[in-house]
Copies of this chain bind each other. A is one copy, B any other.
């Protein structure tokens, strides 16, 4: 199989490295940054460079681009993909990307499958790409009624082969709703947490909990601004919900209501324990 990875950042670069490590497929790279291509060639992450016009040689094209860039790339280059080939993206939101991609590729004989590899780092760019970034990660696929079943099977086999721990499918809408909670809200809360006036008094006063709560505040604001605004409704629902929940704790503490506070904390512990049990069952 000939594969092109377009956009060799943290995610695209790590995917290219994982393919080279785990398979014998030919991997091409495409990136607007000359240094990235030079590094990828030097590290043998890619076997060669392609221009968009040469994409017709590929059986699979993986887009490691931001949401709007993904949509633009497909619209600009849809005439170059080979009939029968598969195009997948790696964006953190799916509904808007999948709709635009399917509309653009309508009638071209090219299959699109929305994908979201569930891993990341607090660093970005090809320099931080790792061949094992996805080793314990989940690979989410969001097929629609337009996606041929054999394309889903093929991409699933491919994801498992390059090292993902498992694959799950969801509709684009389900994906966006759940990701608003598991990933986007985490980034919002972490970024809000770090803004306390107490921040620079804390050296030597932190155990693991502070580090955990603020780790992802070190985020790429260009990417996350776009991801948040493309997933407004589900994310607003989650932010409003945690503000409401925090207000419950605040009121109980303000009122010195020990029973209420105890109940709120107990509920939280039980939900966390139940969520751990569910994860173990599904793993």
User: Chain A: residues with CB nearer than 8 A to chain B?
Assistant: 118-120, 137-138, 140, 166, 168, 170, 174-175, 177-183, 185-210, 212-222, 224-225, 228-229, 232, 235-236, 238-243, 245-250, 253-254, 256, 258, 261-262, 264-269, 271-276, 278-279, 282
Q: Are A247 and B236 in contact (CB under 8 A)?
A: no
Instruction: Evaluate contact between A193 and B203: CB separation under 8 angstroms.
Output: no
B253 with A243: CB separation less than 8 A: no
Contact A186 B204 (CB under 8 A): no
Residues in B neighbouring A274, C-beta threshold 8 A: 200
A209 to B273 alpha-carbon distance, docked (Å): 17
| Minimal Cβ-Cβ distance residue in B for A226 | B258
Interface of A, helix, strand, loop or mixed by DSSP? helix
Instruction: Evaluate contact between B206 and A118: CB separation under 8 angstroms.
Output: yes
Pairwise interchain contact A209-B222, C-beta atoms closer than 8 A: no
A205 & B243 in contact (Cβ 8 Å cutoff): no
Could you tell me if A196 and B212 are in contact, using CB atoms closer than 8 angstroms? no
List 5 extra interface pairs beyond A140-B204, A190-B209, A246-B246, CB under 8 A: A118-B204, A194-B271, A208-B215, A236-B250, A239-B253
Chosen A-B contacts, 21 in total, with CB atoms closer than 8 Å, are A138-B205, A138-B206, A168-B205, A170-B205, A182-B207, A182-B209, A182-B210, A183-B206, A186-B210, A189-B193, A192-B246, A192-B249, A192-B268, A202-B275, A209-B215, A212-B216, A217-B269, A217-B272, A221-B265, A232-B254, A235-B253
